[in-house]
Structure 1
Amino acid sequence: MNVRCPACGQLLEIEPGFYYGTSYVSYALTVALSVATLVAWWVTIGLSTTDNRFFWWLGINGVVLLLCQPYLMRLSRSIWLSFFVKYNANWLTEKAEEPERM
């Protein structure tokens, strides 16, 4: 990961351990993706207690989550950073703010 944004110069590591909170965001994204795949599975294939369709969904959902994990982690870092660093419409002319700690 870059130390600074190559476009605007914003410091990306605001303080030590800043990105520990991304685990909560990543967890929420993972749960949302799992619920979405469960609903899609239920609508297209259906769920039943008499056969193993639910276990097939669990296996396929696990593979989907493993394949999407790099994208989910990157997205969760972006979401977490957007909570603390606000968008500046004049980023071309104004310098990025330095964090108070560091």
Structure 2
Amino acid sequence: MKKVLSLLSLLALMPSGTMLLADPAAVVPAAPSSALIDQAEAARKEADALGYEWRDTASLIQSAREALQKGDQAESDKLASKALLQARAGKAQGQYMAKNWKMMIPKN
């Protein structure tokens, strides 16, 4: 439980932590769905390279692609925005942990 609380407080203190609580449409600039999907995929790959890809990011990107193929631009934008937000947060989390991992080791 302590680890969960410390991780949550860590996310809240990170600059991207406040983005997690924001509306995805307000954080992500307006762009066509295909551009948002491409941005989300690139950010997902960067987060994955750091070892901090979030669980739902890839499935959100896939769902955004499917919605775009069906012609549902609004749904595609919504899903791609969520995926981009998650990918950026995962990337920020990975970068933060790369610099501050020692802080997470309990001292005896």
TM, length-normalised to structure 1 = 0.36
Q: Which has the higher contact order (CA 8 A, sep 6+)?
A: 1
Larger Rg: 1
